[in-house]
Amino acid sequence: MLYVLIGEDDFSIRQALDKIKGSIGDETVLAANTTVLDGKQLMLEQLQNACETVPFLAERRLVIVEGLLGRFEATARPSRKKTRQSDRPGDYQAVANYIHQLPDFAVLVLVDGKISNRNPLLREVSSAKAEVTAFPLLKGEKLRQWIRRRVKQAGGTISDGAVELLDRFVGSNLWIMASEVDKLVLFTQGRGIEEEDIRDVVSYAREANVFAMVDAILGFKVGAAETMLERLFQQGAPPSYPLAMLLRQARMLVRVKEMRKQRKSSTAIQERLGLASEFLFNRVSEQADKHTLERLKEMYHHLLEAELAIKTGKRGGELALNVLVAELGQCSSVPAESTGYGRLS
Looking at residue 91, its pLDDT comes to: 76
Q: Residue 123, Cα to own-chain centre: how many angstroms?
A: 29
Residue 176: give the domain boundaries.
140-201
Q: Residue 12 — very low, low, confident or very high, per pLDDT cuts 50/70/90? A: very high
Report the pLDDT averaged over residues 33-62. Answer: 91
CATH number for 18 = 3.40.50.300
Q: What is the pLDDT of residues 55-67, one digit of tens each?
A: 888 889 999 999 9
C-alpha closest to that of 59 among 100, 24, 101: 24
pLDDT in tens, 290-325: 888 888 888 888 888 888 888 888 888 888 888 888
Give the Cα separation of 105 and 4 in Å (integer).
17
pLDDT at 83 over 50: no
The H or E element spanning position 37 is strand 34-38
Helices within 274-340 (DSSP H only): 278-290, 293-311, 317-330
Instruction: Indicate the DSSP class of residue 153.
Output: H
Residues 7 and 64 in one domain: yes
Q: Do residue 157 and residue 215 come from a single domain?
A: no
Same domain, 209 and 155: no
Distances (CA, A) of 268 to 75, 89, 263, 274, 313: 17, 29, 10, 10, 40
Domain boundary among 119, 134, 149: 134
Q: Which one of 77, 106, 134 terminates a domain?
A: 134
Q: 129 pLDDT exceeds 60?
A: yes
| Pair 294, 337: CB distance under 8 Å | no
Question: What is the pLDDT, as a whole number, of residue 339?
Answer: 37
Q: Can you give the pLDDT at residue 170?
A: 81
Dmax of the chain from CA atoms?
Answer: 76
Q: Tell me: the pLDDT tens digits for 214-263?
A: 777 777 778 888 887 777 776 666 777 778 878 888 888 889 999 999 99
> Other C-beta atoms within 10 Å of 125: how many?
24
Indicate the number of domains in the chain: 3
Residues 32 and 128 in one domain: yes
Q: At which of 201, 216, 237 does a domain end?
A: 201
The answer to whether residue 345 sits within a structural domain is no
pLDDT at 107: 93
Do 177 and 279 sit in the same domain of this protein? Answer: no
Task: Report, as an integer, the average pLDDT of 169-187.
Answer: 88
Band of residue 108 on the pLDDT scale cut at 50, 70, 90: very high
**Mean pLDDT score of the chain, rounded to an integer?**
82
